[in-house]
Amino acid sequence: MKVTCLQMDMKFACPQENFKKAEDLVRQAASQGTDVAVLPETWNVGFFPKENLDTLADDNGKNVKQVFSALAKELGINIVAGSVVNRKADGIYNTAFVFNREGECVAEYDKAHLFSPMDEDKFFNKGTANATFELDGHKCGIIICYDVRFPEWTRNMTVKGLDILFMVSQWPLVRVPHLDALTKARAIENQMFVVCCNSAGKAGQTVYGGNSSINDPWGVTIAHAIGSEQEIISADCDTTILDGIRSSINVFADRRPELYKVN
């Protein structure tokens, strides 16, 4: 499965322009023969405009579904449409959407762990459920940015069996070493591919780090963005290697969940 990360530099608080750019990037990925195109976190408005947030937000994913459902079907590719600032009846959420080749929305995920150092928890509602889905017969899951720092959240999905975990993010340049370490760790400990699509550019005083990566189950980085500018990277995720890795070091069979008391 060829996976492509679209390390997008979005325009702050300008959803119309960002939708156009995101569509153009997805079309570029499709022209290069990708199976899955991946966008970063909150690409519709950036992370995140505190003024007029409600007005700028997508309305229950209406625009994302309209544009990317049709685009996935037209191009015949899967689209992990990053996440968007999303207005629901009970408040604002940071919501990821995933579409298969037929244009079906196969997953919606509301970010569970909100980044309190930047007051995300004061402006957004917390999600309460993880999301797993299938793309081309492969078991997949998705997390958003800060979620990666909570390994128990990822493990809650991977005990059910995952081939690929998608992570979409707005991770700052100053903490890129953490991003690289955490994505590799999630790949190694869960014996799966981890695809991290980070954003590029600047919002206010925060410079976002780029450095998107695709990591195999051994923790080997098989594709990595050059730096923090807008960029497209791709790699072939050969899922046929998973059975061999899992049988040679069978961490899931050797787990002792009766000993783990995580509260």
Nearest CA to 110 out of 88, 89, 125, 127 is that of 127
The residue annotated as part of the active site, out of 5, 41, 120, 140, is 41
Do the beta carbons of residue 101 and residue 74 sit within 8 Å?
no
The verdict on whether 145 is a catalytic residue reads yes
Cβ count within 10 A of residue 57: 27
> What are the structure tokens assigned to 249, written together?
């070091």
Q: Exposed (0-12), middle (13-18) or buried (19+): which is 202, by Cβ within 10 Å?
A: middle
pLDDT tens column, 175-234:
999 999 999 999 999 999 999 999 999 998 899 999 999 999 999 999 999 999 999 999
Of residues 5, 105, 140, 145, which has the active-site annotation?
A: 145
What is the predicted pLDDT for the residue at 262?
Answer: 74
142: β partners: 166
Nearest-CA neighbor of 114 among 92, 97, 131, 137?
92
Judging by DSSP bridges, how do beta strands 164-169 and 138-144 pair with one another?
parallel
What is the predicted pLDDT for the residue at 6? 99
Q: Per residue in 80-95, pLDDT tens? A: 999 999 999 999 999 9
| Greatest distance between any 2 Cα atoms in the chain | 53
Answer yes or no: 41 catalytic. yes
The pLDDT tens digits of the residues spanning 20-66 come to 999 999 999 999 999 999 999 999 999 999 999 999 999 999 999 99
Tokens at 147, concatenated: 């979620």
Q: Which residue has the tokens 């999905």?
A: 157
Tell me, what's the pLDDT at 204?
84
Collect all residues with Cβ–Cβ distance below 8 Å to 16 and sequence separation of at least 6. Answer: none
> Burial of 151 by CB count in 10 Å (0-12 exposed, 13-18 middle, 19+ buried)?
middle
Confidence of residue 4 (pLDDT cuts 50, 70, 90): very high
Residue 263 has pLDDT above 80, yes or no: no
Q: Is the pLDDT of residue 261 over 90?
A: no
**What is the rounded CA–CA span in Å between residue 87 and residue 4?**
28
Catalytic residue chosen out of the listed positions 111, 184, 196, 231: 111
Q: What is the pLDDT of residues 136-177, one digit of tens each?
A: 999 999 999 999 999 999 999 999 999 999 999 999 999 999
What is the reported pTM? 0.98
- Please indicate whether residue 14 is annotated as part of the active site: no
